[in-house]
Amino acid sequence: MLIFSVFKTLTDQQVTVELKNDLSITGVLKSVDQFLNIRLDNIQVLDAARHPHMMAVKNCFIRGSVVRYVQLPAEHVDTQLLEDATRREAANPSKR
Amino acid sequence: MSSLQGSVDKRVLLILQDGRCIVGTLAGYDQKSNVVLSDSKERVYSMDEAVEEIELGLYLVKGDMIILLGELDEAKDDAVDLSEIRAEPLPPVRY
Amino acid sequence: MDIASGIQEPFDLIRLSLSERVFVKLRGDRELSGVLHAYDGHMNLILSDVEETIMIVDLPEGQTEGTGAVSMAKRKSEMLFVRGDGVILVAPGGR
């Protein structure tokens, strides 16, 4: 729930999603759901020369379970707020 | 997965767990993101040969197999000369 | 039970590492060192000032295990979300 909320606050920001097939995709985060499935707009594949498969793709839907990392825009992440929210959720794990 | 609604009747690219790439027109989908494509083709990439397109026609793909679904810019996709492209096939997903 | 008094369960160790540097071992021969800002019950993590180390074992065709050359790739990221299913362990301190 917590991480889902964090991603919601980052909608319309640019992120880079690294998948478990080693593909890295940069784009504008358009939406996220409870499974952390991700929708990206205006995408670009890292190392497009090696991966021309998605050349003509404008936007995409990524299954949450195949995400390895998401690089977040640090300037839009309030780390103090995150830590407080994490402690709160740890103290009250009912909503996990 | 309600967000697939906007892609119905559009040309889409699917990337599957095993690395396969399939393009087709999104005819429909359900809750579990099972997807039906019409006019679909698999694109097989290799380093030594041109991209091979295998006609699949009307095709149902199980949602579990799909790792990525992207909407294609049709003009851009049509402009790509697949016979010129050499690329490694995408690796399968390793959990 | 007063959880503030110490470590009662494994996740307490992670909680006490909030805003501290942690070492994370991941599937696929990857390791991270970063400052922990958030986690949840799936061990999804958010880290900042992250250094990732990827171990790449080059096993030439037909060679037996343990004979390949090991190379390491390093990468840095400012702020990183790590999906919990890849996490093997989280330890306090950046090694």
| Chain B residue whose CA is closest to A34 | B1
A54 Cβ under 8 Å from any chain B Cβ: yes
Selected residues 11-40 of chain A with any CB under 8 Å from a CB in chain B? 19-23, 31, 33, 37, 39
Confidence of residue A96 (pLDDT cuts 50, 70, 90): very low
Q: State the total domains in chain A.
A: 1
CB contact under 8 A, A2 and C40: yes
Whole-number Å distance between alpha carbons of B83 and B48: 11
CB-based burial of residue C74 (10 Å sphere; 0-12 exposed, 13-18 middle, 19+ buried)? exposed
Q: Is residue C2's pLDDT more than 60?
A: no
Confidence of residue C9 (pLDDT cuts 50, 70, 90): confident
> Which region, left, alpha or beta, applies to residue B9 given φ > 0 means left and ψ of -120 to 50 means alpha?
left
Calculate the average pLDDT of chain A.
94
Report the pLDDT averaged over residues A54-83.
96
Domains of chain C, by residue range, sit at 10-92
Closest CA to C88 of C49, C46, C56, C43: C43
Give a yes or no: residue A63 inside a domain: yes
Confidence of residue A72 (pLDDT cuts 50, 70, 90): very high
Domains of chain B, by residue range, sit at 2-74
Whole-number Å distance between alpha carbons of A70 and A25: 9
Residues of C in contact with B94 (CB under 8 A): 27-28
Q: Is residue A70's pLDDT more than 70?
A: yes
Among candidates A39, A53, A60 on the partner chain, residue whose Cβ is nearest the Cβ of B90: A53
Give a yes or no: residue A96 inside a domain: no
pLDDT, mean of each 10-residue run, chain B (95 residues): 81 96 96 94 94 95 96 93 90 87
Check if the beta carbon of residue A25 is closer than 8 Å to that of residue A40. yes
Range of the domain at A59: 2-91
Give a yes or no: residue A74 inside a domain: yes
Give a yes or no: residue A87 inside a domain: yes
Residues above pLDDT 90, as percent of chain A: 88
CB-based burial of residue A13 (10 Å sphere; 0-12 exposed, 13-18 middle, 19+ buried)? middle
Residues of C in contact with B95 (CB under 8 A): 27, 85-86
Q: Is residue A22's pLDDT more than 80?
A: yes
Tens of pLDDT, residues C37-93: 999 999 999 999 999 999 988 777 666 666 678 899 999 999 999 999 999 999 998
Q: Which CATH number fits domain B2-74: 3.30.700.30, 3.30.950.10, 2.30.30.100, 3.30.450.40?
A: 2.30.30.100
Question: C-alpha distances in angstroms, C86 versus A10, A35, B35, C75?
Answer: 23, 15, 27, 18
Identify the CATH number of the domain in which residue A39 sits: 2.30.30.100
For residue B56, give the amino acid letter: L
Tokens in use for B62?
A: 């199980």
At residue C27, what are phi and psi to the nearest 5 degrees? Answer: -60, 155
Residues of C with CB under 8 A from a CB of A: 3, 11, 15, 18-19, 28, 35, 37-41, 44, 46, 48, 77-83, 85-86
CB contact under 8 A, B94 and C28: yes
Give a yes or no: residue A36 inside a domain: yes
Q: How many CB atoms lie within 10 A of CB B51?
A: 19
C85 Cβ under 8 Å from any chain B Cβ: yes
Those residues with Cβ within 8 angstroms of residue C12's Cβ, 6 or more apart along the chain or in another chain: C3, C6
Domain C10-92 of CATH type 3.30.365.10: no
Tokens in use for C53?
A: 């180390």
- pLDDT of amino acid C66: 65
> Quick one: CA dihedral A6, A8, A14, A19, positive or negative?
positive
Residues of A in contact with B66 (CB under 8 A): 63
> Which region, left, alpha or beta, applies to residue A20 given φ > 0 means left and ψ of -120 to 50 means alpha?
alpha
For residue B24, give the amino acid letter: G
Give a yes or no: residue A49 inside a domain: yes
